[in-house]
């Protein structure tokens, strides 16, 4: 699977995060543990090279990871206190 198809992979891994591939940002209620698992599974499914993954925050209460893809980047945030996963797509790359 190519990096450019990240929304399809996230939609499969984190349903119902996206109802439509046209969404730029979306959030869904999810346990912190499930969010982290979804984040890791998505990265593994996309076979994203380590150089294209930036772990911005990685604590016991929050993770924020930017994944660079062919057409921009995707930010996946997991919040333990809020029990939410937020995914934001940006057309800007590095």
Mean pLDDT, rounded, for 10-38: 70
What was the pLDDT predicted at 43?
A: 87
Mean pLDDT, rounded, for 60-85: 94
Q: Which pLDDT band, with edges at 50, 70 and 90, does 19 fall under?
A: very low
Q: At what angle do helices 32-46 and 6-13 cross, to 10 degrees?
A: 140
For residues 55 and 43, what is the distance between their CA atoms, to the nearest angstrom?
Answer: 12
Residue with tokens 């996309």: 46
pTM greater than 0.95 (yes/no): no
For residues 55 and 30, what is the distance between their CA atoms, to the nearest angstrom?
Answer: 20
- List the domain boundaries for the chain: 3-90
**Rounded to whole angstroms, what are the CA distances from 92 to 23, 37, 82, 89?**
16, 26, 27, 9
What is the CATH code of the structural domain delimited by 3-90?
A: 3.30.160
Per DSSP, 85 falls in state E
Residue 24 scores a pLDDT above 80: yes
């Amino acid at each position: 699977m190519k990096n450019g198809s990240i929304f399809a992979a996230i939609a499969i891994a984190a349903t119902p995060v996206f109802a439509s591939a046209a969404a730029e940002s979306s959030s869904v209620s999810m346990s912190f543990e499930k969010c982290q698992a979804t984040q890791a599974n998505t990265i593994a499914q996309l076979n994203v090279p380590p150089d294209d993954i930036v772990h911005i925050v990685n604590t016991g209460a929050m993770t924020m990871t930017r994944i660079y893809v062919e057409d921009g980047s995707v930010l996946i945030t997991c919040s333990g206190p809020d029990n939410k996963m937020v995914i934001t797509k940006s057309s800007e790359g590095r």
